[in-house]
Amino acid sequence: MTGSTNADLLIRAAQSAPEGLWLRADAQDSGRGRLGRRWMSEPGNVFASTIVRLRPTDPASSTLAFVAGLAAHETLRQIAPEFAIQLKWPNDILT
């Protein structure tokens, strides 16, 4: 259990943790969604964050979240075609 994988990684990133570090939790009790909205962390889901250090030439971070959601959606559709995989914008995968 963690408060928020994202908040935990923000601290680690400030302490020079490497880009690409992932943090996964079975549950969160202080997660936040877009625009600071409360995030409901239902049991049985995956909660994960990674460190990405944007460079001036990278696309806007808001578009990267959408691209990551699309990539996860397409990957899961290919490896688990028996499930009705859905994408809830920008990066929530639902079955």
pLDDT tens figures, 12-71: 999 999 999 999 998 888 877 777 777 777 777 888 899 999 999 998 887 888 888 899
pTM of whole model > 0.75?
yes
Least confident of 12-16, 80-84, 85-89: 85-89
Closest CA to 54 of 13, 89, 91: 13
Cβ-in-10-Å burial (0-12, 13-18, 19+) of 61 comes to: exposed
Q: Quick count: other Cβ atoms within 10 Å of Cβ 22?
A: 10
Measured distance CA(6)–CA(91) in Å, rounded: 14
Closest CA to 30 of 21, 22, 39: 39
The alpha helices in the chain, defined as continuous H runs, are 5-14, 61-79
Question: Count of residues for the chain?
Answer: 95
